[in-house]
Amino acid sequence: MFRLVSKRVAFAANSSESSWRALAQPLVFNLSARFMSKERAGKAVKPGAALVIDGAPHKVLKITQGKRGKGGGYVRAYMKNVVTKTTTEKTFLVDETVEYAEMEKEDVQYNWNDGSNFYFMNLSTFEEFSLPKEECPDWEFFSEGQEVTMRKFKDEVISVSLPKVCEFTVLTIDETRTSSNFKAATIGGGAEIYVPMFIEVGTKIRVNVEEKVFLGTTREFFEDKDVVHLEYEAYTDMALQTMLEICDKVRERWPVLNIVIQHKLGDCPVLDVSVAIIISSEHRKESLAALSFAIDELKLIVPIWKKEHYGDGDCNWKSNAQQAKEAAEGTTTEEDAKR
């Protein structure tokens, strides 16, 4: 299924709507205007909502709805306890009153750890506090001096975590551990992910922290010129159709489960993510091979144009590889193709 995510932001090809939404949206509790307020369950109980259940904050993961014979409707919610990390199921009547959870967020600085506990400094009060490793879900990605987000419920620290998408510098690469054009690399505080073969030690990359997925980078330099920012344009309908063809090609070659392809349109800051591809399979080898194929095909045949803006005020439009080849052969020009 193809869906235009936003008119000027991105478009995606995917077999699961929730999968690309999970990729694109950071995990946040958007309750600033309704802290500790109450609402009917039929309106409040929905995926992503943070509710107080038995005195503890819970995040709603998914719901099902229905009716009880001649009675009113109900909402069955699958929830995760933010404190204990356990999951539970609870059924609410649609007219039942539920309470939103007050989740406060503060920026803190990670300092060090002793293997079991992680130590942070509150950037407002400069007080140091510690949390056990279990309450730091992203601990592998923590680097000394890094700013992270602390979540509190009723003045009690619940967890400390990173934004869903972060930028890291590659620390080490293990060339002996490769799989389908990807190799093992360490980033942050020792987290290991697989990156494309062209990535080197010191390269800055974007990573989906929650899924431990390499998202890529946009280039900072071109022929000794500083790249200030990028712009992307595309024939949306044709691009979506071509992305569907790529999905079909992937499925013909590998036994994959779900496919997500997302490409940004419009302005794209340097080092921001411009392309995201997620492919799931029962075995890692197939999905990694499919990922490598999909990104190569996307760059080769999807009608997308990139405009690089340089520090000296100059700029340059670049088409995909196929358009560039046609331009070189004289069958079309980049400007003709762009129009």
Per-residue pLDDT reduced to its tens digit, 90-135: 999 999 999 988 778 888 999 999 999 999 999 888 999 998 887 7
The answer to whether 249 touches 295, Cβ cutoff 8 Å, is no
Q: Return the higher-pLDDT residue of 338 and 261.
A: 261
Q: How far is CA 37 from CA 33, 95, 138, 219, in A?
A: 9, 15, 30, 46
Name the amino acid, one letter, at 99: E
Mean pLDDT across the stretch 242-263? 93
Please determine, for residue 71, whether its predicted confidence score (pLDDT) is greater than 80: no
How much is the pLDDT for 220? Answer: 59
Write down the pLDDT at residue 217. 66
What is the predicted pLDDT for the residue at 334?
39
pLDDT per residue as tens digits for the range 144-194:
999 998 888 877 787 788 888 888 899 999 999 987 778 999 998 899 999
Rounded to 10°, the helix 284-301/321-329 angle is 40
User: Of 117 and 310, which is predicted with more confidence?
Assistant: 117
Q: How far apart are CA 184 and CA 170, in angstroms?
A: 10
What per-residue confidence (pLDDT) applies to 33?
Answer: 31
User: Would you tell me how many other CB atoms lie within 10 Å of the CB of residue 138?
Assistant: 21
Contact between residue 22 and residue 274 where contact means Cβ atoms under 8 Å apart: no
Please say whether the beta carbons of 328 and 250 come within 8 A. no
Average pLDDT of every residue of the chain:
79
Please indicate whether residue 220 or residue 35 has the higher confidence score (pLDDT).
220
